[in-house]
Amino acid sequence: MAGTASGYIKHHLQNLTYGQLPAGYERADGSVLDSPAWTFAGSVREAADMGFWAIHVDSMFWSLLLGFLFVGLFRFVGKRATSGAPGALQNVIEILVEFVDNSVKDGFHGRNPVIAPLALTVFCWIFLMNLMDLIPVDWIPGLATLIGIPYMKVVPSTDPNITMSMSLSVFMMMIFYWIKVKGIGGLFGDLALHPFSSKNLFFKVLLMPVNLLLETVSLIAKPISLGLRLFGNMYAGELIFILIAMIGYAQLPLHFGWAVLHILVITLQAYIFMTLTIVYLGMVHEDH
């Protein structure tokens, strides 16, 4: 662990990064590479110098692990579900499924069997990723350091690569169903004929560039705001936990108070992402 406060914060906010360093590169340990090499970054500078194609291994590991945990848990409960008196775990799962189902019925008025399972997956997966924020910030990074792993961020939703990849996936599904339900002409009509329109053909054509500009900006803003909202809220929460951890033994009441408040943030952010996913996909299924 870095000895200074600045080094401590940078260490906890740095991802375990795997990427390529060029030939002649001087590494953090003083060695110089004879040829380009794919390797794990040993410092913040090395991670930055690896560029766009670098992979955040810790974010990938924890997000996939939590995704498999979600699938495995629901499969386990589903196979053992009973119509009699359900156990506590089955009760929780049934309440969660009913909650998501009601959210889909309220926000989506088309006919698509994919939306409800997608909404359930989005909510549970993001909730589990956010929930990792409640693990004391020194535990897992400290254990990783002991076994020779220099960095370990355990909250995937504090990585913009994860949140933006999820939002871009929702965006691509929007475009896919937009074309599937309405065709290319319907997609163009939604973008070019709204919000301003006229019964006069001349004015309708004249307003098309304005509508295209406004609707295209609005369309592009959807995945950006969806991903950055989740990232910003979770990153800020993680940073506050790190700052509290620097206080020492006096951190316990502050840590507990912020953790209780953060439970609401964790759940709310998962709910917002799920709700906006439902709304965005519902928009492309509806006719004006």
Tell me the per-residue pLDDT of 108-121, one tens digit each, with 9 for 90 and over. 988 899 999 999 99
Beta pairing, strands 17-21 & 37-40: antiparallel
23 falls in which pLDDT band (50, 70, 90)?
A: very high
CA distance 20 to 281: 38
**pLDDT tens per residue, range 217-264:** 999 999 999 999 999 999 999 999 999 988 877 778 888 899 999 999
* Active-site option among 27, 43, 112, 229: 229
Average pLDDT, the chain: 93
Q: Is the pLDDT of residue 1 over 50?
A: no
The radius of gyration of the chain's CA atoms, rounded to the nearest angstrom, is 23
User: Do the beta carbons of residue 227 and residue 163 sit within 8 Å?
Assistant: yes
Q: What is the pLDDT of residue 200?
A: 86
Closest to 78 (Cα-Cα) out of 94, 67, 64: 94
Q: What is the pLDDT of residue 33?
A: 95
Q: What is the pLDDT of residue 158?
A: 97
The residue written with tokens 């119509």 in the block is 83
Question: Who has greater pLDDT, 149 or 84?
Answer: 149
Q: What is the pLDDT of residue 2?
A: 56
Q: What is the pLDDT of residue 163?
A: 98
203 falls in which pLDDT band (50, 70, 90)?
A: confident
Q: Decide: helix, strand or coil at residue 19.
A: strand
Q: Is the pLDDT of residue 195 over 80?
A: yes
Domain range summary for the chain, segments of one domain joined by +: 56-283
Q: What is the pLDDT of residue 229?
A: 97
* Active-site option among 102, 165, 198, 225: 225
**pLDDT tens per residue, range 128-175:** 999 999 999 999 999 999 999 999 999 999 999 999 999 999 999 999
Please classify residue 170 by burial: count the beta carbons closer than 10 Å to its beta carbon, then call 0-12 exposed, 13-18 middle and 19+ buried. buried
**Hey, which residues does 20 pair with through a beta bridge?**
38
233 is catalytic: yes
CA distance 15 to 18: 9
Q: What is the pLDDT of residue 3?
A: 65
Q: 139-143, long-range: CB within 8 Å, 24+ apart, which pairs?
A: 141/1, 141/11, 141/12, 142/1
Is the full-model pTM beyond 0.85? yes
